[in-house]
Every structure is written in C-alpha cells, then in structure tokens.
Chain A
Amino acid sequence: MTPRPGAILAGCAVGCAAVAVIAICLGSTGWRSPWAWTAMVGELRAPRVLLGGLVGASLAVAGCVMQAVLHNELADPYVLGISGGASAAAVASLALFPGLAPGPAAAAGATGAALMVRGLARGPHDPTRLLLAGVAVGSILASATGAILVLAPASQLLRSSTSWLFGGLGTPPWSALIAPAIAVGLAVAWLTAQATRIDRLTLGADVAAALGVAVAPLRRRLLIGAVVLTALAVAAAGLVGFVGLIAPHAARRLVGDGHRPLIGAAALLGALLVMAADAVARTAFAPRELPVGLVTASLGGPIFLWQLQRGAR
C-alpha cells in the first residue's frame, strides 16, 4: 500500500529533526550533546545548523514556486538573474566596504535583478521570454562579478568572495534566524493554502482561468514570494546551489505533484539537505571548512542523476 502524504510528511519532519540533532552534535571538537548546552553548541553550532535548515527550506519552496509559475522543471530559485544580481552586488560590497557583511547588498542585488528581468520581459506572461531574459541578465551580471574580482586590488577580496559565491553559513547570531524563520513559516502556510490554485496554474494559464483561478494576481504574488525567500536565503548564506532544484523533485517523488503536501515536503527536504551538507562541510576537512554550496552540488548532483536513472527505468 502506498503511504499517505501525511505519513510521508511526518517522516520527513522526523528525518529533518534527526539530521538537525546529529549536525548540532558534530563538529571539529567532537561530539557535544545539544542537551549539554555549552557555548560551542548553543552559540555556534545550533544557530548555524538551524539557519542552514531555514536557508534550505527557503530555497526549496522558492524552487517549487518558480517551477510552477514558469512551467519548467529545470527552473530553480536563482533562475530570474537572481544569482547574477546577488553575486555582483555582494562582490561589489566586499570590494568597496570590506568591513560590512555582504548579505544585505546581495539581497538587494537579487531583488533588483529579478525586477530588471520582469521589466525586460514585460507584456503578456511568457515563461520562455522570462527565462531567456533571466539567462541574459544573469550572464551580464556574472561577467560584471568577474570583472570586479579581476580588477580589484585586494587579494583578500578573492578569498572572501569565493567563500560567499559558493555559499557559507558562517557563525550567525540567534537574531539572524528571525527574518528567515518568519518568512519560511508565512510562505509555507500561505502556499499550502493556495495549493490547489497552484495545481491548476501548472495546467497552463487558460486552463487555470477556466477552472476559476485569477491567474495574473496569483502569478505575481507567487513570483514576489519566491524572490523574497531567495533574497533572504542569499543574504544569510550566499549562493547555495542545487537545493532549489533537487528538493522539489525529490519531494514530488515522495508525495506526488499536488502542491498541498509538496510545499511542506520540499521545505523539509531542502532543510535536511542543507543541514546535512553543512555538517559535511564543517567536518570533512576539519579544521578547514568547505563552502556548503560545493557540498550541496557534489552530493546533490549524483543523487539527482541516480533519481533520473531510476525514473527512466
């Protein structure tokens, strides 16, 4: 008998909690029980692990939304030029204001790039034009990022930029969790309430309209929500690749294509993936850390290919 989506969601939540506990226990100084609340566990590892979970959930939910709105399963949260905008703004911020964290500039760059893409593809909604505008703006901004890295004199810039461009959670204070936690909570609740409208939207604009969906306002709200979630994730952790692509696909295989269970399942799997990847990033070459985005891509890629092979059989 096929398990019900509710049971699968509960299983994902348990798995996510287990990975969180294990990730909090793991570290360069060995096992530390999260219940033995030391400064190491309580002030360094726990907020970092939980922020990783929130970043993963944000990217996974944003990926789900982008794939539904753009009718393209290869769409990810960064698809509307967001990665290019975030990178260019963050690297410019690191070059001009080395003492400042690049997160807010990156979020602003991501949002600005998404607005620019939407403006360039204005007119009737056309997913292909939107995607092509995203690719074009993203590549222009990526070349601007490269130019800043090559031309800026400080060698420190290359190092700090590289770790940011491949994603890194750093040592966030507890207060850094507030905005992403609120955003993820609101997004999952609202999107789950909109789930059957999103399902109808995936059938195409005309079909959705004939099935009672006010297509243009829903699409606009979904895109704004996805951009805000992605910008917050980028501000917290830089560019963490592949999560927004792989988590929705993995969730679909578990709970099917209906967005009511899919949004929650994708959020939990995205959280699980980033927390696990960050644990590997912290411990694999301790005391040196790998960027978490390198780990998500190197773990996620083979898993994704394995899933594709299974699906083809």
Chain B
Amino acid sequence: MTAAPRPAPRPALEATGLAVGRRGAAVLSGVELAVRPGERIALVGANGSGKTTLLRALAGLEPPLAGALRWSGGALPHGGDRVRAVGVLFQGEPASRFTVRELVTLGLGLDAPPSPGERRRVDDALALAELAALAGRRCASLSGGEAQRALIARAVVASPRLVLLDEPTNHLDPAGRAMIEALLDRLRGAIAAVIATHDLALAAGCDRVALLHAGRIAALGPPARVLAPALLGDALGVEVRRLDDPDGGPPLFRVIAPRPRAPEAAA
C-alpha cells in the first residue's frame, strides 16, 4: 500500500489579482504572489515602484484596490493573534523611549503583563538578535544597527508564520549590515519573509526575487534568473554588472552608469 501524498502546506501568504495604491490610484496591479512556509522573497525595484505600498497591503494596513489576500489560507486575525500571523519591520520607525526589552515585549501583542513563558520568548528573541546585553538600554540610545535588530526582534518575537521587512539594511554600516544578514540567516526556514530592499546582495541571498517595474511584478523567480543585468537595467535604470563568486558565495553587483529607462507601460 502506498502512503497518500502529503497535502502541500498552505502558503503563508497568497495574493491573487492584487492591485494596491494610495488614495484610489493603483501603484501596482495584477500581483500574483504565493509565499511558501519558510520561504524568503525579495522585492526589488526603483524608488516609487511600489515596494513599500505592496508591503503595507501584505501587512493588512492598506486595503487592496482589487484582488484578494489570504494569510495562511484565511483572513488576517484581529487583536493579539495578528502578531502570530504577520510580523512587520517598518522603514524609518523613530526610536521609542522604551527599553529594548519593553519594545520587544510589545511585539507579543499582549493586553496583560507577560507570563514567565512569554518573558522567556522575549529573552530568546533578544538572544537571537544578540541584544541580551542591551535589554535594559533605552532604544533612543542604540546605534542604527542595534535599533534595527531590536525592531526585527519585536517583529519575530511572537513566532509569526510570515515577517515583512521594509529595507532592513538601509543606512547601516558594513558591520551593522552583516549583523542583520546573520540575524536573517538564523530565521531562515523558520519564518517566511518578504523583504523590500535596494540591497541586491541581500536579494541574491533570498529564495526568490520579485522585480517591480512599470506598475507590476515584471519578473518573479530565482535570484540567478531575475537579478540578471538586462532585467535590472530595465527596472532600475542603470547599467549593472554582475560578478559571480566562483566559490558559490553571493554575487556582487556593480552599477556602471545610469541609462535611459524603458518606457513605462500605459496606465
């Protein structure tokens, strides 16, 4: 007797025919995207291509103009259950007056003081983000990289199925960027992630890349295919040279010169 094939796990997030925008004007339309459990997808595109707008819709903060969104096959839960479905890192969130531990605890979405078990979850998230020694420090006194790791720890402390990260390595020095990449590597496989980024090296480390251009997802697939100079040139308006690492490491991308953008599709 052969065992029945196991059903495929439900996608952490599924968008079908999605159109998103601000004040009724679509920035992106026709978005078809299914994020598998534990998968990491990068959103790459020029400024204004709709990366942040799409992330806001995927976070349930902006109602879609058209199409449907399902989180783990259903609607986004309300209240404290929401943080167990989706965690969010916002771009440019101002430093709060809370301590690092207080900030990360708020990520649990609790309406009461944390139980001993919930405090252990906070300790684990702080350890994961290498912030245990800074737990009592006020967020306003942290460096940019430390603050970003604290915000990522807040986004993942409730062990959501999906985390949405808007420019996680923006404005960070090389050491800060490396620590964020190491933190994301520790989360790999456990939590699905959609990462909006201009950092092509970070995108190259993802399972799939969605290239946003001309109001739609112009390409979606493995980094080796999507992060090709021809596609990037059209989407980002620059000549890009890709230098692959013979040892199998992530490729390097070198911007050579700006180039005229391909004409936008008619709205």
Q: Contact residues of A with B, CB < 8 Å? A: 193, 196-197, 199-200, 202-204, 206-207, 209-212, 214, 252, 256-258, 260
Contacts and interface: CB of A to CB of B under 8 A. Distances in A.
B88 A210 contact: yes
Given A209-B61, A211-B106, A214-B78, A196 B96 contact: no
Contacts of B88: 207, 210
Contacts of A199: 98, 102, 106
A212 B82 contact: yes
B138 to A, nearest CB: 9
Nearest to B105: A196
Contacts of A209: 60-61
Contact of A212 (B56, B80, B94, B99): B80
Chain B's interface: helix, strand, loop or mixed, by majority? Answer: loop
Interface string B82-93: 110011101001
A265 B99 CA distance: 19
Interface of B: 56, 59-61, 78-83, 86-88, 90, 93-94, 96-99, 102, 106-107, 109-113
B101 to A, nearest CB: 11
9 A-B pairs with least C-beta separation: A212-B109, A210-B88, A212-B82, A257-B97, A212-B80, A212-B79, A211-B109, A212-B83, A200-B106
Contacts of B93: 203-204, 207
A197 B113 contact: no
A207 B90 contact: yes
A203 B96 CA distance: 7
Contacts of A256: 98-99, 102
A31 to B, nearest CB: 43
A188 B88 CA distance: 31
B102 A210 contact: no
A20 B96 CA distance: 36
B157 to A, nearest CB: 11
Chain B CB within 10 A, most for which of A197, A200, A211, A257: A211
A211 B107 contact: yes
Contacts of B79: 212, 214
Nearest to A194: B111
